Amino acid sequence: MENNSQQEVSWLKIDNAGLIYPSASSETWNNVFRVSAYLNDDVDAVVLQQALDTVILRYPHLNVSMRRGFFWYYFQTIEQKPKVAAEKDYPCRRMELNSKQHLFRVLYYKNKVSFETFHSLTDGTGAICFLNTLLGCYFNLLGKNINEKDLVINYKDKPSPEEIEDSFRRVADKSGTATRRSKKAYQVYGTPEPNGKLDVITLTLDAEKLHSVARKYDATITQFLVAAYAKAILNYQQFTIQKHRPVVISVPINLRKYYDTKTLRNFSSWIDIEYNAKNAEHEFSDLINLTKTQMAGVTKEYLQKNINTNVKTEKNFFVRIMPLIFKKMALQLSYKLFGENSYTTVLTNLGKISAPKEFESLVDRYECLLCKSIINGINVGVASFKNKITITFTSPIKEHLIERDFCRILKEFGLDIEVNTNIV
């Protein structure tokens, strides 16, 4: 925070994880993700706007627009109030960065409230926090009596500096750095949808049933889903010419579980789970074991090294003094070559959504949608609430064979699946 006053934040540096996104943005793409909540009743737009007007004051790090400095981008606080809007376009549309507008959208459609945000502002956990605070305020305005103290963030409290700190810079130390994987991973290609349209397919399952199936393999839901997803991609890869390339699934990790922090900004890392084409012939149990072995590598030491590497790069003298115009070119190139090329897809699991008890009778389910990537053809977001788990595939390509095969794999375990989509 660049202003010591607790209430007044005039400008903010972008956190370590968020630095790459404005530079990697292009005319047609930038990293926007969405979290949605399906309510049991239709949304009242007027009340939702009132709730947003109240809640935004509690989240000063969201009440900003993006500006260009000479060396880095930064966030500038803006005075205009954000507006809720009816959902009309396809999800996760590109966010306009160089305008004096907010870098998020609050959208409603029938019984659904969605929060779309540029990834430099916050991560999935921060986004869910905001959405739930917004819903808490919305329900209270409708007279539903939600106890604000049960929300992760009470919208009646004042924002604290710890909530908008860059925890990466605080926790980074000199204990060592990680070596980056530079091998090219298998990429899913297909017929692109016109005008950058994003196809969404959401599978809704019984969380308890899925959990019991995963337990049979002594695995967590994330490990089970990653293995099933890997199986589907490996099956698909057999019919392509890129058989020699490994399938790499990048799984984001919430660092708040490992470090003491209250930050609502980006604070996540990732692990790459790698499979080779020979794994396609293996039994599903072998794939799960392979996944579990690799995910066991997520230790505090591993995460610390990852954080140190990123912070060290940011603090590098030559990187710091490089004018933004050259920095942008270098970052854009490295993001394509070493960022997206090194993994096949992303599977993020927001886990069980933490919400007040009263939400159970008001909210049906949550969804998490990742945007398309520059290169990668498909991404997956998972969220669970009450007894429902949603697995959302987002893809800018017309073919949906991987999603179909993933469904088939889950059906083999006797799981019932409900599908919703924006494909018509």
The CB-of-58 to other proteins minimum distance in angstroms stands at 22
For residue 27, what are the β-bridge partners?
none
Contact between 69 and other proteins (CB under 8 A)? yes
Phi, psi at 53, each rounded to 5°: -60, -35
Region of 54-62, 69-77, 121-129, 272-280 interacting with other proteins (CB under 8 A): 69-77
88 binds other proteins (CB under 8 A): yes
Q: DSSP string spanning 56-118?
A: GGG-TTTSEEEEE-SSSEEEEE--SPP-EEE--S-SSPPPP-SSSS-SEEEEEETTEEEEEEE
Per-residue x/- mask for other proteins, residues 178 to 207, rule CB under 8 A? ---------------xxxxx-xxxxxx---
Comparison of 88 and 149: residue with beta carbon closer to other proteins: 88
**Which of 6, 10, 175, 299 is in the footprint of other proteins by CB under 8 A?**
10
Beta carbon of residue 363, minimum distance to other proteins (angstroms, whole number): 15
Span interacting with other proteins, options 5-13, 118-126, 171-179, 233-241, rule CB under 8 A: 5-13
For the CB of residue 109, give the shortest distance to other proteins in the complex, in Å.
6
Residue 302 sits at φ, ψ, to 5 deg, of -60, -45
- Does 41 help bind other proteins (rule: CB under 8 A)? no
Nearer CB in complex with other proteins: 252/377: 377
With beta carbons less than 8 A apart as the criterion, state whether 269 and 301 touch: no
**407 near other proteins (CB under 8 A):** yes
Site string for other proteins, 97-126 (x = CB under 8 A): -xxx--------xx-x--------------
Stretch that binds other proteins, among 51-59, 125-133, 304-312, 408-416 (CB under 8 A): 408-416
| Residue 355 near residue 144 (C-beta atoms within 8 A) | no
State which amino acid sits at residue 280: A
H helices of 178-323, in order, are 207-216, 221-237, 284-295, 300-315, 317-321
Examine residue 281 and tell whether it contacts other proteins (CB under 8 A).
no
Residue 381 neighbours by CB under 8 Å, 6+ apart: 33, 124, 347, 348, 350, 367, 368, 369, 370, 391, 392, 394
Site for other proteins in 283-302 (CB under 8 A): none
Alpha-carbon span 125 to 327, nearest angstrom: 29
Find the DSSP H helices in 25-67.
45-55
Q: What residues make contact with other proteins under the rule CB under 8 A?
A: 2, 10-11, 13, 27, 38, 67-72, 74, 76, 86-91, 96, 98-100, 109-110, 112, 193-197, 199-204, 320-321, 400, 403-404, 407-408, 411, 416-424
